[in-house]
Structure 1
Amino acid sequence: MEASLRAKLDSIADRHDELGTMLCDPEVVHDKSRFLALSREHGEIAPLALALQQYAQVEASLAGAEGLLADPDMRELAEHDVRELRTRRDELELQLQRLLLPRDPNDSRNVILEIRAGTGGEEAALFAADLWRMYIRHAERRGWSVEVMSVSEASAGGVKEITGLIRGKDVYAMLKFESGVHRVQRVPATEAQGRIHTSTATVAIMPEAEEIDVVINPKDIELQTMRASGSGGQSVNTTDSAVRLTHLPTGLAVHCSQEKSQTKNRDIAMRLLRSRLLDREIQRYQAERAAQRKGQVGTGDRAEKVRTYNYPQDRISDHRIGLTRHALNDFMDGDIDEVIAALRASDEAQRLAEAQSS
């Protein structure tokens, strides 16, 4: 192990021990905010401290096994132990390097999921609705909660656009690589001759932004109210409850007519606007990284075709990492963990390679 890496790990181990002592201090225990902050830090570095402890144990065992190589009676057994211990040491060193990779500060955030029908007319709208159901089913599997923020339905039963808030543990970390253009190849229900059509939908995964994250000057907001459209004769059609907010400096605009209350729609629209502005900054940063490493996973480019869902061949293909899987029906029912894990592993491997080469 390199001396610089060793020094960094030793420093983290010392901090872990220091935090353990501090958390037993009565003064800290009675200071709720401080105790929670220190507990959080202690929990974050605990996996690293444990791996370092295991590494030290393996190193000690390896030194002992290597010392037996000179003994003719023990040499054969010692050679076997040395091979196994060296392999284990290398595995732990790689694990430690991975644990040292900087965590995306947005990983623990909730997510605003936005799906829009792309090319393909009504079939694209139906596919957008299928994708929405896929993510909702996945959220249910993970125990996350989902709140619909706005929806624009299509006449054939699909959706032109739908936006929702997904709350739960590390939602952004799990879903952030879903951003991009999703393509479907299948025979639409309206196709009489059985021809396969290709349609698309765009998925945007945006970390939920708090007011402290994105400060918006009220003078930069143009507010428009209008009568909401929709079925039924309730107040959704009889009052100016729908809200459109335009952020003048960027031209970003959001529309919300989900609620009957104009105030509630304005609050939802502001949450959407803040998150889109934060996402805009994330996209800019990722574009800079993409310019430095061509072809990396998860640039978040909305124009990037990220995945194809081929129904006739029962196949899902993720184009960024060359991954192909079958059991499409299960996938569309929310069983997407394997692909998400592969995307995260690919990104981690790329960042690890960058860290080792720098």
Structure 2
Amino acid sequence: MKKTSLIQKLEVSKKEFLEISKSIIQPNIISDQKKYRILLKKYMKLEKIVFLYEEYKKRLASLKEADFILENDSDMEMKELATKEKYKILEKLSYIEKKSYNLLFLKKEEESETEDDRKAVIVELRSGTGGDEACIFVEDILRMYTMYFKKSGWKYKIIHAQKGGIKGYKEIILDLNGEEGVYGNLKFESGVHRVQRIPKTESQGRVHTSAITVAVLPKVQDIEVNINLSDIKKDTFRSSGSGGQHVNKTESAVRLTHIPSKITVECQEERSQHKNFEKAISVLRSKIYQNEKEKRLRKISIKRKSLVSTGDRSIKIRTYNYPKNRVTDHRIHKSIYNLAGFMNGDIQEMINLLKLFENK
């Protein structure tokens, strides 16, 4: 970014900061908590930018002084001091420019956030091709995500789980909540995740390819998706999950089918049928909402072929290659050669690159 362009952007930010400084102390703003929180968040971010801008102007003034001495002073000692000082100033200016650019860029990214990006989510992991190995990989990806959730300070609960034949899961559904930006970070994870490795069950040491599907659904309220209960078929059955002897005695597990869309969801993790019903309704609402959203995204993706989050869960998005210690995201053609770190929850770098690509 050119210096003149950066200064113009910093001037705009300073003007906005001064306007918000006046409005944030108005009684009508203070009484409206929602507006006040939004303005306070902007104020705090702009305050950092304005501080850097003031520092930037001081350094530019010092640079002018150093240049004046170098051009006009005949004292060699003064010139030597001015040269050293100029070097330090240029280093500091470069640092401020980078920091200012990052803050301005992040500000732009936050403003482009959708309402969905701030929502909590339902995460579904399902085994695909590969039999037992796919079930094991579901468990591996579950571990990867839960480690990432822990680093992000997010809380999750298992809504539904169906164990695999030998190990792992055929299917697992999570309810995930966080302070903010949960869906905004995880929405790019929807799609087919492919693994290439030698399974533990493989006696001849051959590399196998298996696949699982991941679906990340924004969690929605009943005011956003109104479900008519007459459109729902409810079935109950005995839980096959954990829970001791209780699971074999009562039909606490719930299966709901939304007749118009033919969407089916199950929940069996709670001991109470009523609680399982509530959780199943929450998942069903998110799935209906996502269906409508995917229709819109498909229309958009015709216009924007580079769209990363199309919502199409049949698209192969990522390959985890164990022999080569590589994870590759096929949408942005990016490879990270630290598979162990990635599988331990260090996935933010890839998410940031996907965000950057989407914003472009």
Q: Which amino acid aligns with 2:251?
A: D
CA 1:145–1:328: 2 relative to 1, 3 Å: same
Deviates more, 1:66-75 or 1:126-135: 66-75
Unaligned runs of 5+ in 2: 74-78
1:138 alignment partner AA: Y
The offset of 1:148, in angstroms, is: 0.3
- Deviations along 1:138-186, one digit per CA (max 9) or x if unpaired, are 2222332220000111111111110011222322222221111100001
Residues 16, 297 of structure 1: CA spacing in aligned structure 2 closer, same or farther, 3 A cutoff? same
Compute the displacement of 1:292 (Å): 1.8
**1:113 corresponds to 2:123:** yes
Change (3 A) 1:285 1:51: farther
Whichever residue aligns with residue 103 of structure 1, its letter is: E
1:289 Cα offset (Å): 2.8
Q: Find out whether 1:224 has 2:235 as its counterpart.
A: yes
**Structure 1 residue 343: deviation in Å?**
2.2
2:157 is aligned to 147
Match of 1:307 in 2: 318
Against the structure 1 CA distance between its residues 216 and 9, is the aligned structure 2 distance closer, same or farther, given a 3 Å change threshold? farther
Alignment partner, residue 327 of structure 1: 338
- CA distances 1:81-106 after superposition (whole Å, capped 9, x unpaired): 79986996697468536523421212
SS at match of 1:236: helix
1:113 partner letter: V
Q: 1:46 aligns with which of 28, 44, 47?
A: 44
Structure-2 separation of matches of 1:278 and 1:45: 34
CA contact (8 A) 1:55 1:93 kept: no
C-alpha displacement of 1:270: 0.4
Counterpart of 1:103 (choices 101, 113, 116) is 113
- Pick the aligned partner of 1:290 from 280, 294, 301: 301
Q: How does 1:245-284 map to 2 (within 5 A)?
A: 245-284=256-295
Take 1:231 and 1:7, find their aligned partners in 2: how far apart are those partners? 60
Deviation at 1:256, TM superposition (A): 1.7
1:254 is displaced (CA, Å) by 1.0
Deviation at 1:191, TM superposition (A): 1.0
Q: Whole-Å Cα distance in 2 between the matches of residues 325 and 99 of structure 1?
A: 27
1:204, 1:322 → 2: CA distance?
21
Query: 2:121 and 2:94 mapped to 1: Cα distance?
Result: 42
**Does the 8 Å contact 1:12/1:49 carry over to 2?**
no
Q: Does 1:16 align with 2:20?
A: yes
| CA displacement 1:274-307 (0-9 Å, x = unmatched) | 1112222332333233222213323232112111
Matched, 1:215 2:226: yes
Q: Which residue of 2 is the match for residue 318 of structure 1?
A: 329
Pick closer, same or farther for the CA change 1:185–1:49 going to 2, 3 Å: same
Alignment partner of 1:234 is 2:232: no
For structure 1, which runs of at least 5 residues remain unmatched after alignment? 351-358
**In the aligned structure 2, how far is the partner of 1:94 from the partner of 1:295?**
24
How many Å separate the matches in 2 of 1:313 and 1:92? 38
Alignment check: 8 A CA contact 1:52 1:96 kept: no
The correspondence of residues 177-196 of structure 1 with structure 2, limited to 5 A, is: 177-196=188-207
- Quick check: 1:225–1:240 contact (8 Å CA) kept in 2? yes
* Kept after mapping to 2: 8 A contact 1:19/1:42: no
Letter in 1 for 2:72: D
Q: Calculate the aligned-residue CA RMSD, in Å.
A: 3.5
Task: Confirm or deny: 8 A CA contact 1:66 1:82 kept in the other structure.
Answer: no
TM-score with structure 2 setting the length = 0.80
